[in-house]
């Protein structure tokens, strides 16, 4: 199996993995914007972006957005919003990491992805949500800061932290299967990055539970 075939096979497998976790794990985070749901598929997509670059993350985001409406139903607006959010997170992180292939580059990439996705979703929800639900734009504007802003910070913060946790095990498994060769310039995170990722995920899960009134 040549390198191109391995890459296509790996991306196909990771698309399938992203859709499986998307279908299994799907729930609202902020009660006031319960139409927005958390899903972990972007963890898989950003890991692929770290391995193969931002274009691969873009391709995966497009495939997963189309598959999502096939399984759940939806419209072209669902595809648009899905792709914008995933690309802003995974493609930005992948592009920065490709340029600076270090721990620092990974952190800057993921942090930038979280920030830019959160800001862009404020804009796009303000534009699209009134059209999608047929509600006044003023009603959506009232949701932006108390609901949509913390939703995206928590969702993509968790996905960024989980990416730090899972990157090395995923790459190790792919290498063991000979789908990613040892010659691939894949930066493996140290234990400090795993600890940081776990801390971020746990902190944001507690924050999410606070919003839901569980704690």
Query: Looking up tokens 């998307």, which residue turns up?
Result: 22
pLDDT for residue 1: 66
pLDDT at 60: 96
Distance from C-alpha of 208 to C-alpha of 215, rounded to nearest angstrom: 9
For range 103-125, the mean pLDDT:
96
- Judged by phi (left if over 0) then psi (alpha if -120 to 50, else beta), residue 28 lies in beta
pLDDT of the residue at 182: 61
Confidence of residue 179 (pLDDT cuts 50, 70, 90): confident
Tokens of residue 107, six digits: 């952190």
pLDDT at position 187 over 80 = no
Nearest 5°: the CA angle 204, 210, 213 is 150
Quick one: pLDDT at residue 163? Answer: 96
User: Which long-range contacts does 141-148 make (Cβ < 8 Å, 24+ apart)?
Assistant: 143/32, 143/33, 146/32, 147/30, 147/32, 147/33, 147/36, 148/33, 148/36, 148/121, 148/122
Cα(84)–Cα(95) distance, integer angstroms: 15
61, 83 Cβ separation under 8 angstroms = yes
Distance CA 213, CA 207 (A): 10
Kindly list the distances between the CA atom of residue 82 and the CA atoms of 1, 62, 68, 89, 179, in Å, as whole numbers in the listed order.
33, 8, 9, 11, 28
pLDDT (average), residues 80-84: 95
Q: What is the model's pTM?
A: 0.92
Average of pLDDT values for 175-182? 77
Percentages helix, strand, coil for the chain (3-state, rounded to 5) are 80, 0, 20
Residue where the block lists tokens 């960024």: 160
Average pLDDT over every residue of 4-8: 87
Angle ∠(64,106,185) on CA atoms, nearest 5: 85
Average pLDDT of the residues in 177-192: 64
pLDDT at 186 over 60: no
Residues 6+ positions from 173 with CB-CB distance below 8 Å: none
Q: What three-state secondary structure class fits 135?
A: coil
At 199, is the pLDDT very low, low, confident or very high (cuts 50, 70, 90)? very high
Q: In the prediction, which pLDDT does 204 show? A: 95
| Average pLDDT value over all residues in the chain | 92
């Amino acid at each position: 199996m040549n390198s191109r075939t391995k890459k296509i096979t790996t991306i196909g497998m990771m698309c399938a993995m992203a859709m499986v976790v998307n279908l299994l794990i799907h729930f609202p985070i902020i009660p006031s914007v319960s139409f927005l749901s958390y899903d972990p598929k972007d963890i898989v997509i950003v890991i692929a972006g770290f391995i193969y670059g931002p274009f691969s993350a873009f391709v995966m985001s497009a495939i997963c957005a189309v598959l999502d409406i096939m399984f759940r139903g939806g419209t072209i607006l669902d595809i648009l919003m899905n792709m914008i959010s995933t690309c802003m997170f995974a493609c930005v992180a992948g592009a920065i990491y490709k340029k600076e292939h270090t721990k620092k580059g990974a952190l800057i990439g993921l942090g930038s992805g979280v920030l830019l996705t959160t800001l862009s979703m404020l804009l796009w929800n303000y534009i699209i949500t009134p059209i999608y639900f047929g509600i006044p734009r003023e009603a959506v504007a009232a949701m932006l800061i108390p609901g949509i802003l913390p939703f995206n910070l928590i969702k993509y913060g968790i996905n960024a932290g989980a990416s730090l946790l899972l990157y090395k095990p995923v790459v190790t498994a792919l290498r063991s299967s000979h789908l990613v060769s040892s010659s691939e310039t894949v930066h493996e995170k140290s234990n400090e990055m795993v600890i940081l990722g776990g801390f971020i995920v746990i902190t944001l899960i507690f924050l999410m539970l606070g919003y839901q009134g569980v704690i």
